[in-house]
Chains A and B, each alone.
Chain A
Amino acid sequence: MNRSSAPRWALQRIDTGTLLLAAAALVVVAVSLSATAMAGLRDPATAFGFGVLVAVGELTRMTLPGNREVAPISSAGALGYTFVLTVAGVPAVHSATQVISVCALATLLGALPHLVVNRGPHLDAVARRLLVVALVAVVYRPFLEWARPLEHHVWVAIAAMAVLATLVWLADCVIAAGLRADALRARFGVTVRDELRAQAPIGVAVATSGVLLALSASVMGLIALVVFSAPLLVTHVAFRRYAEIRLTYAQTVRALSRVTEVGGYVENGHSRRVSQLAVMVGRDLGLREAELLDLEYAALMHDIGQLSLPRPIPGGATVLAAREEQVRIAELGASVIQQTGVLDRVAEMVRRQSDPAAGRAEDGPPPLGSRIIKAANAFDDLVGGSRDRDRAAAVIERLRLDSRCEYDPRVIEALERVHDRPPRRV
């Protein structure tokens, strides 16, 4: 329609944190490049060998669950180039600035094919990758020169590698978590824990491979780069497969949750709206990533029990149906989900979705997920796809009046908060 809207929107997506990060990376790279240009390139063969590895790694980058872009082979290659002590017996004397320059150029080279087909890397991810290298190189390369005359300098160097790799991994996770907390409006403490959990296996694989590459190049020269990338390659394939299947799983549940709409049981887009709202509320209340995924699935499938009804409820709005009917739909839906044998927590959320916040008689209060779905479902049943803010505000007011016994007041407060602010990227 109007062509100018797309780029403006794209600009808005880049938040301040990412911009700062990218600017920092750019400055570091520019300084390093000019320093390297003045000092001249030391040992071009080694630089070329590791550079190729970094470029290949950038070319084969992937997206892990949670929209986390990683390039393990590139990161390991860059770490290896930073850590390398000697190359086939000859001391490696390249400076920190040379490490940064080589990695930056190689990254650009590896990203080029992606850029050509308009699939450039995430700005924050690529900036973080470069800054991590810069941080390690600036500390390690001078340290290595200091340690080289020591008797057991290999072990001193290995200890330094381990400490540095761990520290820089922590820093990277914290920065990524900060950006994520800002972008998704999640709690910082929660995103840090999510990030550490998600990045731990890949971090260990990258760090050990980096050390391995550096040490093996010392004995065998550059041929080691080919050989010792093999274990990392196996890991890379495994991670990629995992990411693929997680994505397919999520896409499938999202798609199949629409059968209730196609069958005329609920309004168009109802399941998806409820799940989006539920996830936003859950995030506001500090749920972890794994819990949010369960919540999303439960919200998507909360009406699946209606498939067992002989006739659709008029308009599909369960909030208007009789209490017994609501309970029956919830039970039916939960028993369907239970049959998968793997979604027990999701089934429980669906089963208790119509319970009042205080719980029914002996069961105790329903899980937080159920309370969130109950509120999100009621909100969407009453507001629908309408964008009218007054109507939404009136609905929230009505839910609040009900919140003494029906709805959880905390959930309603969170619902109001997430509804008041403009939507941002997910």
Chain B
Amino acid sequence: MRGLPLGAQAYIGSVVVLSGVLIALGPLDDIDFIAVVSIAILFFIAEEVRTPLGKPAAAISPSLSVALASVVLTGPIGAALVHVLAALSNRHRPMVKAVFNVAQGALSAYAAGTVYLYLGGEIGVPDIRSFPWILVPFAAAAVTYALVNGVLVILVIWLTTGVRPFSLNTIRWQPLIALELASLGYGMLGLFAAVLWAIVGPFSVVLLLLPLLIAKWTLDQCLEQQRAYDATVATLCQAVETKDYYTRGHCMRVSQGSVLLAKEIGMRADRVEAIKMAGMLHDVGKLGVPTRVLQKPGALTEEEYAAIQLHPMRGYDIVREIGFLHEALAGIMHHHERMDGRGYPMGLAGKEIPEFARAIAVADAFDSMTSTRSYRNARSIDEAVAELRRSAGSHFDTAMVDAFIKAIRREGWELPDIPQVPDIGIEVTQQDHDDPSTPIRVAGEPGR
């Protein structure tokens, strides 16, 4: 409590006192205490089963359905008591947070219960004859619960951190609506759990929660696997690069750059995930280019240049068996195409080039230019941006270049460390196929 702003202290205090007073004042005689205790236990279990849905810290929790079931079964005071009892075993949060959380939950439940009664809802186990009219007070109770809960929480965040949780124009409606619908769904389950109470008592909620517990456990495993997967792909890509001192970390940075760009042009979340992989894997085919070619100091012969031109196809060959990568595959195969059709391997032009490939090409070239090479020092971000702009339209997609520049101006760009190359006995690459400012020299041709 100490260390919090004065306003926050007063606010938290009054919420706690208010909920205490309401419970103490309310008629306690006709509450079914056995029901309250068993619901409290279920509420506690449900609270543990918070189900993370997607990235934004949106966690919907089936405890809402239990809270609303308690409103129907035991009325406003009983529902408030359920929150208090369930919190007795809470061990996760610091004291102040826990106490406030209980108090705001109790208040929300009390408000929901009052609305439910006011609109003609009856306390106790509903039977089939209460349908469908019981839905009106119940839905009102569900909405009240969510509203009171939301307002109380937003206020406490605002008062303790000074951050306004959201303003109307930055709020993302789509996930919010999805979240609210999911909550309403859970709320409805609460009503039906209450109905089922008629035949099997608290066992009904156990039956409802078990599948959700298993879902939660499975989703945890998904997250764990996803993390393992990301780490494994990143490691393997870096392993491919270890041989070349100058390009280490290239795949990670291209992946990050592609993701920045993808987000900037408003790609859907699953496509962003795919382009992250594509950026990471875009150069795996480079291993197929003989080291001798990469390390050759002078101009390349036609054959040697052909070997370099083959690497996107090699990369495609390696990763094409990975099922989910459909769109990413096109990005890997075509990341060296040019808008004017003079790129490789297929010589596609303009919008024929897949969107992923146009995006990756920009991030790829940018990282190459801002990294140190054996034949030149790293260019500054401004120089690289100027070079991108100069090649926009002929080499790169102008829209992509603009979006990329906008994104890195806002988010910043982490430059790679200058590589420490041991002086003796190490042969290093002499040309970089990704570098648009220093095209590869091919014998008998004026640069590409």
A237: chain B residues at CB < 8 Å are: 215
Determine the interface band of chain B, counting residues with CB < 8 A from chain A.
Answer: 35 or more
* Cross-chain contact A205 with B228 (CB below 8 angstroms): no
Verify A252–B322 contact, CB threshold 8 A.
yes
Which B residues touch A205, using CB under 8 A?
210-211, 214-215
Please pick, from B185, B207, B219, B240, the residue contacting A241 in the complex, using a CB distance under 8 A.
B219
Tell me the minimal C-beta distance from A219 to chain B in angstroms: 5
- Contacts of B409-448 to chain A: CB distance below 8 A: 427
The residues of A that contact B228 with a CB separation of less than 8 Å are 249, 340, 342-343
B128 close to A89 (CB less than 8 A): yes
Among the listed B128, B192, B218, B229, which residue makes an inter-chain contact with A238, where contact means beta carbons less than 8 Å apart?
B218
Contact B322 A235 (CB under 8 A): no
How many A-B residue contacts, CB cutoff 8 Å? 172
**A249 vs B218: C-alpha distance when bound (angstroms):** 16
Annotate A335-371 by CB proximity to B: 1 below 8 A, 0 otherwise: 0110111110000000000000000000000000000
Are A262's CB and B285's CB within 8 A?
A: yes
- Would you give the 0/1 interface string for B210-224, flagging 1 where the beta carbon is closer than 8 Å to chain A? 111011111101100
CB of A7 within 8 Å of the partner chain = no
Q: Are A255 and B195 in contact (CB under 8 A)?
A: no
- Write out the residue numbers on chain B whose beta carbons fall within 8 Å of the beta carbon of A209: 211
Contact B51 A307 (CB under 8 A): no
User: How many angstroms between the C-alpha atoms of A237 and B240 in the bound complex?
Assistant: 35
Least Cβ distance of A24 to chain B in Å?
30
Cα–Cα, bound, A343→B232 (Å): 8
The answer to whether B210 and A219 touch across the interface, beta carbons within 8 angstroms, is no
* CB contact list, A198-223 vs B, under 8 A: 201-202, 204-205, 208-209, 211-212, 215-216, 218-221
- Verify A234–B189 contact, CB threshold 8 A: no
Asked if A340 and B232 sit within 8 Å, CB to CB, the answer is: yes
* Chain B interface mostly: helix
Contacts of B51 in A (CB 8 A): 234
* Residue among A89, A216, A341, A342 making CB contact with B196, cutoff 8 Å: A216
Whether A252 contacts B232 by the Cβ 8 Å rule is yes
Determine the interface band of chain A, counting residues with CB < 8 A from chain B.
35 or more
Q: Judge whether B322 and A308 touch: CB under 8 Å.
A: no
Most chain A beta-carbon neighbours within 10 Å: one of B196, B215, B233, B242? B215
B219 near A238 with CB under 8 A, answer: yes
Q: Is the CB of A263 within 8 A of B322?
A: no
Q: Identify which of A227, A237, A238, A343 gathers the most chain B CB atoms within 10 Å of its CB.
A: A238
Q: Does residue B198 face the partner (Cβ distance < 8 Å to A)?
A: yes
**In the complex with contacts A224-B192, A241-B219, A245-B229, A208-B210 CB distance below 8 A:** yes
Contact check, B196 vs A215: say whether CB atoms are below 8 A apart. Answer: yes
Given contacts A252-B233, A259-B236, contact A238 B324 (CB under 8 A): no
Does A242 lie within 8 Å of B218, measured CB to CB?
yes
Interface string of B277-321 (1 = CB under 8 A from A): 000000011011011000000000000000000000010011111
Among A241, A310, A340, which residue has its beta carbon within 8 angstroms of that of B243? Answer: A310
Complex CA gap A221/B127 in Å reads 12
Q: Which A residues are in CB contact (< 8 Å) with B314?
A: 262
Task: Report B294 CB to chain A, min CB distance, Å.
Answer: 12
Complex CA distance for A336 and B232, rounded to whole angstroms? 10
Which B residues lie within 8 Å of A249 (CB)?
A: 225, 228-229, 232
A246 within 8 A of B: yes
A337–B234 CA distance with the chains assembled, in angstroms: 11
Q: Chain B nearest CB: distance from A79 CB in Å?
A: 13
B235 part of interface (Cβ distance < 8 Å): yes
Contact (Cβ within 8 A) A246 B217: no
Partner of B200, one of A215, A259, A337: A215
Contact A255 B319 (CB under 8 A): yes
Q: Within B349-390, which residues are at the interface with A (CB < 8 Å)?
A: none
Interface residues in A290-315 by Cβ distance below 8 A to B read: 304, 307-308, 310-311
List A residues at the B interface (Cβ < 8 Å): 88-89, 154, 158, 201-202, 204-205, 208-209, 211-212, 215-216, 218-221, 224, 227-228, 230-232, 234-235, 237-239, 241-242, 244-249, 251-256, 258-259, 262-264, 304, 307-308, 310-311, 336-337, 339-343
Give me 11 A-to-B residue pairs in the complex whose CB atoms sit less than 8 angstroms apart, sorted by A's number: A221-B128, A224-B192, A234-B212, A251-B322, A255-B318, A259-B236, A259-B318, A311-B291, A336-B239, A340-B228, A342-B228
**Top-7 shortest CB links A-B:** A263-B287, A238-B218, A342-B228, A231-B211, A235-B215, A238-B215, A208-B210
Not counting A220-B128, A253-B232, a sample of 5 additional A-B residue pairs whose C-beta atoms are within 8 angstroms of each other reads A249-B229, A253-B236, A254-B321, A262-B314, A341-B231
